[in-house]
Amino acid sequence: METRLLQTFAVLARTGSFTAAATELRLAQSTVTVQIKALEKALGTRLFDRLARGALLTEDGRRLLGPAEEVLEAESRLFAAAAEEGPVSGTVVVGAGETLCSAHLPLIVAALRELHPEVEVQLEPRGTAAALTGLRSGQLDVALLLEDRVDHADIRAERVAAQPLDLLCAPGHRLADRTHPATWEELAKEDFFLHEQGCSYSDWLAGQLLAVPGAHPRMTRFGSIEAARSCVTAGLGLTVLPHANAARALAEGRLTLVPGPPLPDVPIHLAQHRRRQPSRAARAVVGAVVRHFETA
C-alpha cells in the first residue's frame, strides 16, 4: 500500500471535503476520489459516507484514522533517520505574522545561512489561525505565534521570547510632549491605526479602548503594519507596535513614544505539530530561532 493513500485519507478526514482535500494536496478532485476508493478496496471497508455537505467518516473510518496517522509519522521518522548523515540541507517552510517576518526572521535566516548554507527557508506571512491550519495540513514545518497562550492538543509550542510594546505617535502630535501619562479615557478620544483583526496586541489595545464607558474610538485596521505606521508617521493618529518594529522609526525621529498606561509584553511561541517528526533542517531552523531571541 502506498502511503500517499493514507495521506489523502488523513487530509480528507480533517477537511471533510473532496474539493478542499484536492486543493490542499494539489491534486485533481477526481484523483482524490480514486485514491480513497483504492484505499477502501485495499482495507476492505468503507471509510467515508459521501453526503451532499461533504465526506463524513464512517465508524471504521474513525477507527482506522489513528493507525493511518501513526504509519505516516513512522514514515516521516524513517526519512529523517536516513538523512542524519552529511550536511544539513532541505527546505523549511516557516509561518509567522508580518510583525515577526519583518523585524526578526530576516536576521534569523541570515544567521542560519552562516551555519547551514544548504538549508532553504521559505517565509509565509500568516496570522495565528492560518498558521495553525498550515501546521496541521503539513504546509508549514514551523510557526511563530504572537499569542499569550497556545493551547492545542496537537500542537507543541515553546515560549521563546516576549515582545515589548510601544504606544506611538508622530513627534508633532499633541500627545508627544506629555509630561504625565495619558489615561485610557484620553486615549479613547484619539484616532488609532492598527494592524488587522487577529493581531493579538492590536486586538488587546482595541479591547482596552472599547472598554472605556461611553467611548467611541476611531480605529482603522490595516493588513500591513507598514500602512498603519505610515499613517501615524504622517501625524494622523496613534498606533501600538512591538518595539522591534518601531525602533528604526524612533531612532530616525519619525515616531516618538506616547506616555500612557503600562502595556503588556506579547509572548512569542515557536510551534510545531506534535505528530510530525521534524527534519534535520527544521531542527536547525528551530535552533536558529531560539538563539536569535536569546541574544536579541
pLDDT given at position 51: 87
Taking alpha carbons only, the member of 157, 133, 104 closest to residue 295 is 104
Q: Which CA distances in Å does 156 have to 78, 79, 122, 247?
A: 21, 21, 21, 31
Question: Which residues are registered as beta bridge partners of 156?
Answer: 272
How confident is the prediction for the chain on average, in pLDDT? Answer: 90
Cβ contacts of residue 11 below 8 Å, gap of 6+?
21, 24, 25, 137
Question: What is the predicted pLDDT for the residue at 188?
Answer: 94
Measured CA to CA, the distance from residue 217 to residue 199 in angstroms comes to 18
Q: How many helices (H) and strands (E) does the chain have?
A: 12, 12
Neighbours of 225 (CB within 10 A): 25
Taken in order of first residue, the domains within the chain and their CATH numbers are 3-82 (1.10.10.10), 90-162+267-295 (3.40.190.10), 165-263 (3.40.190.10)
pLDDT value of residue 85: 62
Residue 24 pLDDT class (50, 70, 90 cuts)? confident
Residue 86 has pLDDT above 70, yes or no: no
Residue 169 has pLDDT above 90, yes or no: yes
**What average pLDDT does the segment 71-92 reach?**
77
pLDDT score recorded for residue 77: 73
What is the SS3 assignment for 183?
coil
What's the pLDDT score for residue 182?
Answer: 93
Distances (CA, A) of 290 to 105, 132, 294: 12, 20, 6
Rounded CA-CA distance 228/17 in Å is: 37
Whether residue 193 contacts residue 231, with contact meaning beta carbons closer than 8 Å, is answered with yes
pLDDT at 260: 93
Query: For 215-268, what is each residue's pLDDT tens digit?
Result: 888 999 998 889 999 999 999 999 999 999 999 999 999 999 999 999 999 999
CB 137 within 8 A of CB 154: no
% of the chain residues with pLDDT over 90: 68
How far are the Cα atoms of 123, 194, 224, 245 from residue 197, in angstroms, in the given order? 21, 9, 11, 18
**pLDDT for position 122:** 93
Positive/negative CA dihedral, 67, 68, 69, 75: positive
pLDDT at 83 over 80: no
Q: Cα torsion at 92, 98, 103, 108 (round to 10°)?
A: 0
In this prediction, residue 198 carries a pLDDT of 85
Name the grid cell of 21.
482535500
Q: What is the pLDDT of residue 138?
A: 86
Q: What is the pLDDT of residue 178?
A: 82
Amino acid at residue number 120: E
pLDDT digits (tens, 9 = 90+) for 29-52: 999 999 999 999 999 999 999 988
Model confidence, pTM:
0.69
pLDDT (0 to 100) of residue 143: 96
Per-residue confidence band for 82, with pLDDT thresholds at 50, 70 and 90: low
Confidence of residue 78 (pLDDT cuts 50, 70, 90): confident
Give the contacts of 284 (CB within 8 A, at least 6 positions apart).
88, 92, 112, 115, 116, 119
The C-alpha cell that represents 205 in the structure block: 489595545
Report how far residue 134's alpha carbon sits from residue 45's, in angstroms, rounded to the nearest whole number. 30
* Mean pLDDT, residues 115-143: 91
Tell me the mean pLDDT in the region 109-119: 92
CB 145 within 8 A of CB 128: yes
Whole-number pLDDT of residue 144:
95
- Reported confidence tier of residue 278, pLDDT bands at 50, 70, 90: confident
2 contacts: CB under 8 Å, gap ≥ 6: none
Q: Does residue 65 register a pLDDT over 80?
A: yes
* CA atoms of 135 and 216, how far apart (whole Å): 38
Name the one residue in this structure whose C-alpha cell is 511563530.
Answer: 144
Per-residue pLDDT for 84 more than 80?
Answer: no
Task: Provide the pLDDT for residue 159.
Answer: 94
C-alpha–C-alpha distance, residues 183 and 186, integer Å: 5
- The three three-digit cell numbers of residue 115, written as one number: 551555519
Mean pLDDT of all residues in 144-166 = 92
